[in-house]
Amino acid sequence: MLLAIDAGNTNIKFALVNDDGTPRSRWRMATDARRTADEYAVWLLRLIELEGVKREDVTDVAVATVVPRALYNIQTLATKYFGVEAAIAGRSPFDWGIALDVEEPQSVGADRACNAIAAHAAHAGDLIIISFGTATTVDHVDFNGAYKGGIIAPGLNLSLDALVAATAKLPRIAIEAPKGKSVIGRTTESQMLIGIYWGYVSMIEGLVTRMKAEIGRPVQVIATGGLAALFQQHSHLFDAVDADLTLKGLSLLWRRSVKVPIS
């Protein structure tokens, strides 16, 4: 059984992956580059046990990370507690297998490459992939599956944190969809919520519209990331939402690299 690990800037996601490549069980913890392999193990092995899976059932570990400082302890987790060498996405022989058609292909984040792999495998034609994380990325994957580039914008929580930190009187608020359709807030909190939420919706609408015009072909919009569900009710924004896109891409990349038949 494969243990897939997606180490992002805010959270590290762990998943046991079924033989057909779909995540079976998923867990996440806050990213901390100082966390040791032993700390990961105390937490993770207990969760695996609660799923009725034995440690020895995990025969492979695949990792995609945008946090280089966290990699050593994740690799140590794999060797010390599962007895395997972790396969690292983007490193030979675990290469991407897709064209990274940008000026600096080495700078493309592992999560974005995995998203491209999974989205192209599941959807035909040109794609726009929106990933809501610490940063919000909007990427173009063409009909051949090549990653063509994209956009990086501050994530929703990052934007809110900056707003609160830079002002003396604005409170910290929970991010949620505003009630009703009015964009004229009657309280400080409602005005902040409208500004953050509808401002973000407007940004995504504008960026997608501009990107579609530049691509010039029919495009499907795929959303992923922890905050994708927050905007899912505005179904006109996305053609599909897949919270497991990165993990699926990592699993698919691993299966191709080790030549496991893909059903």
Task: State how far the Cα of 216 lies from the Cα of 126, in Å rounded to an integer.
Answer: 10
Catalytic site residue from 6, 60, 111, 242? 111
Task: State how far the Cα of 152 lies from the Cα of 166, in Å rounded to an integer.
Answer: 22
Task: State how far the Cα of 89 lies from the Cα of 111, in Å rounded to an integer.
Answer: 9
- Examine the residue annotation and report whether 111 is marked as an active-site residue of this protein: yes
Q: Tell me how crowded residue 187 is: count the other CB atoms within 10 A of its CB.
A: 8
Task: State how far the Cα of 93 lies from the Cα of 102, in Å rounded to an integer.
Answer: 21
Alpha helices in the chain (DSSP H): 37-50, 68-81, 110-122, 156-165, 188-215, 228-231, 245-257
Answer whether 244's CB lies under 8 Å from 25's CB.
Answer: no
**Could you list the active site residues?**
111
